[in-house]
Structure 1
Amino acid sequence: MNTTVGPRLADCTTLRLGGPARRFVHTDTAADLVAAVRAADEAGEPVLLLGGGSNLVVADEGFDGTLVRIASTGWTRDGDVVEVVAGHEWDAFVAELVDAGLGGLECLSGIPGSVGATPIQNVGAYGCEVADSLVSVRLYDRKAGEIRTVPAEELGFGYRTSVLKGTDRGVVLSVRFRIDRSGQSAPVRYAELARTLGTETGAKVPTAQAREAVLGLRRGKGMVLDPADHDTWSAGSFFTNPIVPSGEAPETVARITEAAGEPPRFPAEAGVKLSAAWLIERAGFGKGYPGPGGRVSLSTKHTLALTNRGGASTADLLALAGEVRDGVEARFGVRLHPEPLLIGCAL
C-alpha cells in the first residue's frame, strides 16, 4: 500500500475531467484495500474508490478526501465458476476468458473499467448484463467492519442498478461468475449483434466470434477507449434508457408518437423502456452537438456519449448534459437520468 499526495482526477478518469484529491492511496491486494478504507473511516475522512475511472464525473474542485486506487489483479477457476479480484481490468478479464475457451461474458467485451465496479450498476450491453452470470460478491462491509460474501439473489439487481449503487457501505473485493466451458457464447439476444454475426437471436456462436463482433460494433460507436479519438473521452452512455411505469406508458408513447413518430420501446419490469438515444436525437440533439465553446459535445458517433473534446471542464460537461436532459423533457415529457456517478457535483 502506497500513500501520496492526491493526483488530479482528470489524470485518472476516461473523461479526463476532475480536480485533485487531497490524499491518494494505491492498493494492490484486498488486504491493502480494506486497510486503506478502514484507516480513512477511522480518521473520519471521505473515501472515493477508483478502478478504471470510466464511470465517474468529478467536480472541477476535485475530491476533499482519500482517493483509493484499486489495482489488484488476477482470477481463478473452480469448475464452471471463476472468481476475479476487484481491480482486474474488465475487458482484459473478458479477453482472458475467451482465450481460455470460457463463455458467458463475451457480449460485454470492450466495456472500460474494473471488475469490482460491474455489479454495482449491473453493467450491461448487447442484450447481456453481469447479473445473468454473477454468482456472488465478496465485499468489505464498512458499517459492520467485516468481510462477507453476498449471493447474487441478495444484490437487488435491476436495470443498471443494484443494492450497492448509491451507497459506499460495501467495498467490492472480488466477484464470482458462472461460465460456460463449451467455448460457446451466451445466447445472442440483441438484434443488431445477431445481424452482425449472421445468426438468429437466441443462437450461440464461438466466444471469439461474438467478442470480435461486439468490439466492432462498439468501435463504430466510439465506445472502445482510444487516446487518439476524442469520441472515446467519455463515461460511456451518459444517460440510462428511461423506464416509464406501466400506467403512464400508453399516454407517454402516444404523446411521443404525435411529436416525433413511434419510438422504439422494450418491455421492462413494471413498465416500458424507451431509447434515450432516440429521444435525444428527436429532441434536436444530433451527433456532435456542441456544448460550451465546443470544448464538449455529444459524440460524433453516438448521441448517448458526452465527450471531452480537449480543454473542457466538468462544468462544461454538466452544462451540455443539462441542456440535453431539459430539451428531451420539454419535447417529450420524459426526464433522463445520468448513468455515471457524480462526485462533488450535480446535474
Structure 2
Amino acid sequence: MSSPTIADLTTLHLGGPARAVVEAATTDEVVAALTDCDETDTAVLVVGGGSNLVVADEGFDGTVVRIGSGTVEFGVDADRPFVTADAGVQWDSLVAQVVASGFGGLECLSGIPGSTGATPVQNVGAYGVEIADALRGVQVYDRATRESAWVAPAALDLRYRHSNLKHRDDRIVTAVSLWLRPDGVSAPLAYRELARALDRDEGQSAAAAEVREAVLSLRRSKGMVLDADDPDTYSAGSFFTNPIVSAAESAAVVAQIAVVVGPDVAIPQFPAGDDTKLSAGWLIERAGFTKGYPGEDAPIRLSTKHTLALTNRGSGTTAQLLDLAREVRDGVRARFGVTLTPEPVFVNCRL
C-alpha cells in the first residue's frame, strides 16, 4: 500500500490524501481488495482513469482501490464479433486496438479519457454514439453477496449519461463486453460536425480508422484529449450534462430563452425521445461565461477551447473549482431558468 494524494490519480489533478491506495492489477486483485476493505469496515473509493472524479481538498478517509486490470479478448457470438475488456483497460487504448484489428463501432468514442469500466456506468457518449448502442454485457461484482455476474444491457436502465450503476459503490464493474462491426466501417454518422469533417452526409458511413482520426482531431481542438502540456485538458471533461426538458415544459422553456436572446437567434434543440435536449455549452456562453472565464490569472477557469470544461491550470483547489461551477450553474439558471446538472462524481464534497 501507498498513500499519495488523490490528485495524482485524477485528470483534474485535484484532491487531497487517501488513507491508503491499493493497486489492483487483475480482477481477482480488485475483488480481494474490496473484500479486505469490507471485512475491516473500511470506506472504499474505486478509481479507474480518474477522469470523472471531483475529490475534496481534504481527501478521502479510506482506501482507494485503483483498478489496473488489462485483459482484452475478441470473440464471435452468433456470427457477430465482440470485444471483452477488463474494467482497468484505458478506454481509448481499447478503441485504438479495436480499429487496428479491423473492426468498427467504437470509433466515435475515440479520445475519451478514463477506464473501460466507467463507460457503461454513465453511458458515455460522443458524436452521436453511446455505449448503450454497442453494449453486449457488463460483469459486475456485488459487494453484498460477494459474487460476480454478467448483467445484460436491458437491466441497467441505460439512458442519456445514466445507468443504475451510477452514484453507488455496492456494485463494481469488473469487465465490459461490446458488439463490433465486422467490416471496419463506422456506424452511420449521426453528428453533423463529424460528418462535415469527413465530407460525408449524415447517415453515411466511413472507414472506422478515418472516423477515429477525425474524432481525435475535433476533440483536440476542444481540449478534450489528455495532453500533459495543455492545461485545458486538466479537466473532468464536460462538467455539465446537456439539460433535458420534458415535453410538457419544453415550449415554455424555449420561449423564455428566446425572450433573453431574441426571437431571431436559433436555439439549439435536439430530440430526446418525447423530450427536448438543450445545449449546455450554448446556454453557458449566452449567460455571459466566455472561454477562459474568469481570466488568465485564475487558477481554475473555463477551458480556453470549450466552455463546458472547468480546468485546473496547475495550482487550483477543489474548493475553487466548486465555486466556479456554482457560479456558472447559478448564472445559467438566473438568465434562462434552466438548471444545469453536473456530470462528475463528487467525493467528500458537493456542488
With the shorter chain as reference, the TM-score category is over 0.9
> What does 1:30-179 align with in structure 2 at a 5 Å threshold?
30-79=27-76, 80-179=81-180
- For structure 2, the residue ranges without an aligned partner over 5 or more in a row are none
Deviation of the 1:258 alpha carbon = 1.2
How many corresponding residue pairs?
344
Pair 1:16 & 2:13 matched: yes
> Any conservation in 2 of the 1:292–1:319 contact (CA below 8 Å)?
no
Contact 1:27/1:72 (8 A) holds in 2: yes
State the TM-score, normalizing by the size of structure 2. 0.96
* Structure-to-structure mapping, 1:322-333, within 5 angstroms: 322-333=326-337
8 Å CA contact retained: 1:119, 1:131: yes
Match of 2:344 among 337, 340, 346: 340
Deviation at 1:50, TM superposition (A): 0.8
Look up the match of 2:311.
307
Match of 1:244 in 2: 245
Measured after TM superposition, the shift of residue 202 of structure 1 is 1.1
C-alpha displacement at 1:303, in angstroms? Answer: 0.3
Aligned-residue offset at 1:223: 0.3
Quote the offset at 1:293 in angstroms: 5.8
Question: Taking structure 1 as reference, are residues 291 and 31 closer, same or farther at Cα in structure 2, changes over 3 Å only?
Answer: farther
Of 74-83 and 204-213, the range deviating more from structure 2 = 74-83
| Superposition deviation, residue 143 in structure 1 | 1.9
Indicate the residue corresponding to 2:281 in structure 1: 277
Aligned partner (choices 264, 267, 271) of residue 263 of structure 1:
267
> Unaligned regions of 5+ residues in structure 1, if any?
none
1:65 Cα shift? Answer: 0.5
- CA offset digits 1:236-262 (Å, max 9, x no partner): 000000001111110000000110134
2-structure distance, mates of 1:70, 1:138: 14
* CA offset digits 1:78-105 (Å, max 9, x no partner): 1212111100000000001110111100
Q: Is the Cα–Cα contact under 8 Å of residues 221 and 301 in structure 1 kept in the other structure?
A: yes
1:280-335 deviation line (CA, Å, top 9, x unaligned): 00000010102796011100000000000121000010000000000000000000
- In 2, Cα distance between equivalents of 1:198 and 1:59: 44
Q: What is the deviation of 1:74?
A: 2.0
Off by >3 Å, runs of 4+ in structure 1: none
Q: Are 2:188 and 1:184 equivalent residues in the alignment?
A: no
